[in-house]
Structure 1
């Protein structure tokens, strides 16, 4: 499955895929009003997601990953300006009514937020917080909602006898499991997981990732996973989208993107992780100097040009699009263009 260019004019080969997509994002822009001017945070993101698909979103802090994810369900504050199209089962969530959007947010798509302790209400029991969306959206009795809440907690490894406990009475990993149970409360077709395993130990992380994998296999739930951990995405997601300065700069099958990156930024990210068993890699990981540009500082040409070791003058002035970079792959780098003379 491929994406559109940054201009988001659909590629002819995508017509059949996007027509049957669960989620079809087209030319998504998110900007904020700051100091009397508009500052772009997400600049023309496009991708499609079918039922049962898993898409990983990677990139440094400040590249627009979480902003993009929140934009899908219009979860930004009043100062944000969101444009483009977010077609969920063919319905544009950016233009639908608030009442309809409110229903989609739980029954169609739900979010596992980063930092469960800050996302959960500290003065309400876990049971109350899981039951609320079930009663609201599924119109069932309180007794039925409580029964389903107990089943959900058991399914994520939290004993249902603890459902009347408060968030602070659980460990970090258990709170994250509670968040997943809440996300599943109304049987959504899409889960957006924003750093779902942040600050968890590796054993708990593995258990939560296996839980998400089971949901994909058994219920055909589609998952968008956002994290800094490329190795995690490689093992849990079918496809990987790499973001930089508010745009997707590379997209393709996860293992191919990491093993044979086409964009210099993706290559730098993959080299930043030391290789187990390789002393040279462990003692001197490649890394990448500098930081991504501030959203207000992004100009013409490739936003990565200032940090790229392969930059040319055309990179600084040319229009960067997602060009085909192999079967099911695309990259926003001039070196993948056929008229450039080869791939990067």
Structure 2
């Protein structure tokens, strides 16, 4: 049984009298102990998609589709059950710890809070657990009495990870956990997450704009564009031989260490993402695609097999696998 099964997930927001379709029919799964990275430009639907899994979106959002967590349908669960799942069974490392942490409470209090809410333990036991978690993430337990503004950016992000692990969840959602951190601290945080996930055998979904960051942590990658997954598969394959033109554009936007050609002339991507208020027939990437065909503007686009455990939403992939001649 999969830890998480998402089918036909769609999310829209009402804005200015129009529906903005931020997520459009996403299907994905996550096995226990697996790590899945989600990449894409700003506005591609990454954060909306993952926050909808635990029903963390504002009331202005309309969500449809199926989200099954450990074979339980979360879209139909009562709010009391959703509150019980959050932190205890599935937790979130939010983007920007300074915004997510309460500035008038110590970090120790904030780590103890979910433990006291979800587990039958005393204040002393919760404090001991909080101190242990801080030590595990590389922050001295003595800093439990500190307020968020008294910690560095890297320490605050580690506190967020400690909070996410407080109740020993089976699933962690990490939304841009290394944003605005310097490269040294980023490497430390990524190494910490990898180690904790491996030791605890939990599932993790991580969001980032950076494919190279995700590939260093996650076993599989999903690339989103205009609210849909356009390619998904093993990380190494997507990095080494990207199938979808958008995945190639993302991977080409980052220079390769040791490769002067890519460092001096990184590739970019012309144009802007589409307006998600529009119907968007065919492939939404078609106006920006360097290898687009006339049929891409109108054809029914879906994820087609692109190799073992790999799919891509591109007619070139469809034709290559079927042996058709373009």
Q: Report the TM-score when normalising by structure 2.
A: 0.97
2:117 maps to which residue?
Answer: 136
Structure 2: distance between partners of 1:340 and 1:316: 22
- Structure 1 segment 9-48 matched on structure 2, within 5 A: 20-48=1-29
1:157 to 138, 146, 153: 138
* Structure 1 outlier segments of 4+, above 3 Å: none
TM-aligned CA deviation for residue 281 of structure 1: 1.6
1:240 maps to which residue?
Answer: 221
2:165 to 177, 180, 184: 184
Contact 2:221 2:238 in 1 (8 A): yes
Structure 2: distance between partners of 1:216 and 1:174: 19
User: Does 2:82 match 1:101?
Assistant: yes
Contact 2:18 2:277 in 1 (8 A): no
1:292 to 255, 258, 273: 273
Contact 2:94 2:175 in 1 (8 A): yes
Structure 2: distance between partners of 1:63 and 1:320: 17
TM-aligned CA deviation for residue 233 of structure 1: 1.1
Contact 1:58 1:243 in 2 (8 A): yes
1:218 maps to which residue?
Answer: 199
| Structure 1 unaligned residues grouped into runs of 5+ | 1-19
2:36 to 55, 74, 96: 55
TM-aligned CA deviation for residue 210 of structure 1: 1.3
Contact 1:158 1:177 in 2 (8 A): yes
CA-to-aligned-CA distance 1:307-328 (integer Å, 9 cap, x gap): 0011112100011100111111
1:114 maps to which residue?
Answer: 95
Q: How many residues align?
A: 324
SS of corresponding position for 2:87: helix
CA-to-aligned-CA distance 1:210-260 (integer Å, 9 cap, x gap): 111111221101110101111111111100000000000000000101111
Q: What value does the CA root-mean-square deviation take over the aligned residues? A: 1.3
Contact 1:334 1:340 in 2 (8 A): no
1:127 to 91, 104, 108: 108
1:257 to 229, 233, 238: 238
Alpha carbons of structure 1 residues 153 and 318: separation in structure 2 relative to 1, 3 Å = same
TM-aligned CA deviation for residue 340 of structure 1: 6.4
Structure 2: distance between partners of 1:342 and 1:250: 22
CA-to-aligned-CA distance 1:65-123 (integer Å, 9 cap, x gap): 01101111110111101111110000111110000000111111100000000000001
SS of corresponding position for 2:145: coil
Q: Report the TM-score when normalising by structure 1.
A: 0.92
CA-to-aligned-CA distance 1:176-195 (integer Å, 9 cap, x gap): 00000000011001100011
| Structure 2 unaligned residues grouped into runs of 5+ | none
